């Protein structure tokens, strides 16, 4: 079995691979694989984009080894996605390849080729969970993380509830107003725990 990793797709999935440069991000991914061995005893190949804006550069890829892990960088106008699909198509035994990515386009393109598909979360969490110490936290990047805003709003609303009794009595006398502050803040506080 061989695990074929969509490198930057995995890197973008979790904050644990965040770094100032792409080189440092790649190193963090490789170090994670070396430390936690999420592929088990199986062979692993990581594919990265290395697009060039030069239209005359030949399309293809370069294979190298970084810290003992086979690494492929796409060249020219060829993307890492193209390299992954070509790799599967040109394999003598594509059913022995597991492609790790969240890219649905890649999954569609390799659909009938026989390779297995694995989402990034399964590769990182399920494969490595037995080896990850409890105090190591893997945080998933989320596009819309409103937990800080929810906490801030909750604190503001709770502060408003502690206002002097005059204002509270005034609100209770007006039947047309409905205050859902307590209900919302309780819901948000429950979600954060």
Could you tell me the domains of the chain?
Answer: 2-128 (3.40.50), 147-192 (no CATH)
Which residues, at least 6 apart from 104, have a Cβ–Cβ distance to it below 8 Å? none
Lookup result for tokens 């990182």: 124
pLDDT at 134 over 60: no
pTM listed for this prediction:
0.66
Compute the distance between CA of residue 8 and CA of residue 49 in angstroms, rounded to an integer.
Answer: 8
Q: Report the percentage of the chain scoring pLDDT > 90.
A: 46
User: Helix, strand, or coil here: 97?
Assistant: strand
| Average pLDDT of the chain to the nearest whole number | 79
Q: Any idea which of 29-33, 34-38, 92-96, 158-162 has the lowest mean pLDDT?
A: 158-162
What pLDDT was estimated at residue 177?
A: 46
What pLDDT was estimated at residue 58?
A: 72
């Amino acid at each position: 079995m061989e695990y074929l990793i969509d490198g930057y797709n995995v890197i973008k999935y979790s904050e644990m691979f965040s770094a100032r440069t792409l080189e440092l991000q790649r190193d963090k991914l490789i170090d994670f694989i070396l430390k936690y061995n999420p592929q088990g005893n199986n062979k692993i190949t990581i594919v990265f984009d290395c697009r060039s804006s030069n239209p005359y550069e030949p399309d293809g890829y370069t294979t190298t080894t970084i810290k003992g892990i086979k690494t492929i960088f796409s060249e020219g106008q060829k993307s890492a996605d193209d390299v992954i699909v070509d790799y599967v198509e040109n394999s003598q035994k594509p059913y022995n390849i597991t492609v790790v990515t969240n890219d649905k386009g890649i999954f569609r393109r390799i659909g009938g080729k026989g390779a297995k598909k694995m989402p990034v979360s399964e590769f990182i969490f399920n494969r490595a969970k037995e080896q990850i110490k409890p105090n190591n936290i893997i945080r998933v990047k989320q596009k819309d993380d409103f937990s800080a805003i929810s906490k801030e709003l909750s604190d503001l609303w709770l502060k408003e509830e502690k206002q002097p009794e005059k204002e509270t009595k005034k609100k209770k006398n007006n039947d047309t107003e409905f205050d859902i502050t307590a209900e919302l803040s309780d819901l948000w506080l429950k979600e954060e725990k």
